[in-house]
Amino acid sequence: MEPLKEEKESKEKMRLYIEDCIAQISKDIKANLKQEEIQRKMSRLVSTRELLNQLSELSKAKIFAYKIDINIRNRGYTTWEQVMKENSGGERFVAFFIVLVALMSYTRAKGSVEGDYWRSKDSKVLVMDNPFGPISSDHLLRPLFQIAEKYNTQLICLTDLSKTPY
């Protein structure tokens, strides 16, 4: 689809959604609902999640993760559902971390000039309280720190992990 046509359709979808929200809230006001209930409903209707759902079909999005394993034969891409069911706590943490850093990088890139996406000066800082609790193996720590370095993400961590070469 042409970008201009897609943008017009998205704006029209959003306009219709906002009109529907206004109609719902107006109906609630006329029905004398409590102000707190109306405010809660308004917050839900215009939440980032609901607005994003109007423009995309996130339920159809698929995330695949690369399974990090000491045994090379067990390494490979797997679905997010399998990550949640089959991976250890440490492996899940690394998967969550990678998705978080990817989303942070994407969000920042969307706000910058398109050609400036891979700029090396873009950095992020994550402050975490004992994030390494479930991680005790070097085979998980190494890729975590490599991803942080690649995406210029500084980690400030409170932890009791004392034996790490990083």
Instruction: State residue 94's pLDDT score.
Output: 84
Instruction: State residue 109's pLDDT score.
Output: 67
Cα of 62 vs its chain's centroid, Å: 13
Contact at 8 Å (CB) between 123 and 153? Answer: yes
Longest dimension (CA), the chain: 64
Instruction: State residue 117's pLDDT score.
Output: 47
Instruction: State residue 151's pLDDT score.
Output: 84
Which residues on neighbouring strands pair with residue 76, listed in sequence order?
A: 67
Domain boundaries, the chain: 3-60, 64-158
Query: Using the 8-state DSSP alphabet, how is residue 26 labeled?
Result: H
Which residues on neighbouring strands pair with residue 128, listed in sequence order?
A: 157
Token reading at 85: 């069911």
Give the Cα-Cα-Cα angle 8, 104, 44 (nearest 5 degrees). Answer: 60
Residues of the chain with pLDDT under 70: 1, 3, 58-59, 109-121, 134, 136, 159-166
Strand 153-158 and strand 124-129: pairing?
parallel
Contact at 8 Å (CB) between 40 and 50? Answer: no
Its pTM stands at 0.53
Instruction: State residue 49's pLDDT score.
Output: 78
